[in-house]
Amino acid sequence: MAKDMADDIRKIGVIGAGQMGSGIAHVCSLAGLDIVLSDVSMEKAEAGLKIIDGNMQRQTGKGAITEADRKAALGRIHPVEA
């Protein structure tokens, strides 16, 4: 049986840490992928990470994910300056 290409993907790069980019990074990090979150400045990349953290805290409060899931997912996101 042919191996699915998605099985090979372990790390992705997201260019832009705004609403769309942070949303993509959020979902992919919860799926277990390592993320490089890039924006024009480190401040903007880190601001995107803060948005993701806030959204994940909300998910934790609703019981959608555990605190351990949140911490692990955030640890997989690496903000960088483009």
Q: Is residue 5 part of a domain?
A: no
In 17-79, which ranges are continuous DSSP H helix? Answer: 19-30, 42-62, 67-75
Stated pTM of the model: 0.89
Tell me: the pLDDT tens digits for 25-51?
999 999 999 999 999 999 999 999 999
What per-residue confidence (pLDDT) applies to 2?
A: 54
Provide the domain limits for residue 59.
Answer: 11-81
What per-residue confidence (pLDDT) applies to 7?
A: 76
d(CA 42, CA 8): 29
Q: Is residue 46 part of a domain?
A: yes
Domain count, the chain: 1
Q: Is residue 6 part of a domain?
A: no
What is the CATH number for 32?
A: 3.40.50.720
